[in-house]
Amino acid sequence: MNPRLAACHALSGLLQQHGSLASLLPPLLAKVEARERGLVQELVYGTCRWLPRLQTMAALLLDKPFKKDDSDLQAVLLCGLYQLNFTRIAAHAAVSESVALAAALGKPWATGVLNAVLRRAQREPEQLAAQADEHESARYAHPGWLLKRLKKDWPEHWPALCAGNNAQAPMTLRVNVRHANRDEYLARLTNAGIAARACEHAPQGITLAAPCDVQQLPGFAEGHVSVQDEAAQLAADLLEAQPGQRVLDACCAPGGKTCHVLEQHDVSMLAIDLEAERLTRVEENLARLKLSASLKTGDARDVGNWWDGKPLQRIMLDAPCSATGVIRRHPDIKWLRKAADIQALSKLQLELLQALWPTLEVGGILLYATCSIMPAENSHVIEQFLAATPGARELDMPGHWGVKQAHGRQLFPSEHGHDGFYYAKLIKISAA
């Protein structure tokens, strides 16, 4: 399949809310030659990253918008504008290749419209950019509801948050301490010609100067290293698991934190996820790293279906969330997430905490985490839980990472560093 056509099919599916890029893109990539797949991903993810801005530009250029049935043509236009404004692709190629897609989609009548609009965008880039900048959503490339929320929640930080969300995320590794320490693995990367640096906060973390195929990483197949963001790597140390303890990872897929804890300590690990399909990924990670855990499919709130009644010493709850801290990795979140989702998610998060708490022994620790930057899903949830749970106390989390909140600590997406993430650490002081 033509790579630009594949990209536009994925974007059209997204615009019609037929799924996320994680579900829409893989079957299309399978139809594209291997050497062209990088281009498809660049076009799809890049267009999504700047979607609010590109949509504004498209509206400024079109005399009338495309009909709902022509979301494929809208995708062609947005993808063409992305190439003109954010890539080094030659302008004439971006225009001609985009125009040619109209015929490939069986809509040759749109050839003239696409040609006229894209050529105007090519001729008047500064004027178009200035007009787009008059719209705040376009200027910051965030949907209006999210921009409003960020301004309210983070009045001092929101411009930097937007910039972080719009940046391309680095590729970060976690060194498996069962095989080597970080300095030793950095030396292996240097010998392999891969530039990298140590992470600032995660002791086993390494950030690559440029992303690469995992198969190029020394010892990847043997489990010497894994791909995991720096912020997510903080969980294993914060949990303070000890050898022999019974540990629960309540929402475990894809298994990065599960594996990290097991790399550090010989614990009895129970890992749960709602979807059996997602547990397959956990199984694959465990197998590559030669680790073992008991995996169960189910809703962590339905305690009777997975708990054997024996108290747990540690619980890690990486709760389902808006994922607003990882927009730079999943830019389709800007399109798929809605304002109403936040309240529903915070309700679910509180329900999970309340359901899991009785399974924790007195003296045990529960680590609450999200990849959200919304206080409604983070400090506000912990505040509600502590107010309703006399036997729960918050523990301090020493370190120089993140911004201390009324409860817990918040990490913001860092352009060359970690994702947005939140942690709160609770100890059970009584059964009440």
Structure tokens at 125: 């880039």
Rounded distance, CA 370 to CA 350, Å? 12
In angstroms, the CA 132 to CA 59 distance is: 10
Q: Which residues contact 343 (CB under 8 A, 6 or more apart)?
A: 376
Give the separation between CA 297 and CA 293, rounded to whole angstroms.
Answer: 13
* DSSP state letter for 32: S
Task: Count the alpha carbons within 13 Å of 115 in the hemisphere toward its beta carbon.
Answer: 10
What size, in residues, is the chain?
432
What does each C-alpha distance from 379 to 84, 283, 324, 346 come to in angstroms? 42, 32, 15, 10
Answer yes or no: are the C-beta atoms of 47 and 329 closer than 8 Å: no
Please state whether 402 falls in left (phi above 0), alpha (psi between -120 and 50) or beta. left
Q: How far is CA 179 from the centre of its chain?
A: 28
The secondary structure of 253-313 as a DSSP string is TT-HHHHHHHHH---EEEEEES-HHHHHHHHHHHHHHT---EEEES-TT-GGGT--SPPEE
The burial of 304, by beta-carbon neighbours within 10 Å (0-12 exposed, 13-18 middle, 19 or more buried), is given as exposed
| Residues tagged active-site | 371
SS3 at position 54: helix
Q: What are phi and psi of 408, to 5 degrees?
A: 80, -175
Contact between 267 and 244 (Cβ < 8 Å): yes
Closest CA to 223 of 165, 268, 285, 297: 285
- Characterize the bridge pairing of strands 205-208 and 421-428: unpaired
Cβ-based neighbours of 176, under 8 Å, separated by 6 or more: 204, 223, 224, 225, 226, 263, 289
Return the CA Rg of the chain.
23
Task: Answer for the pair 369, 235: CB distance below 8 angstroms, yes or no.
Answer: yes
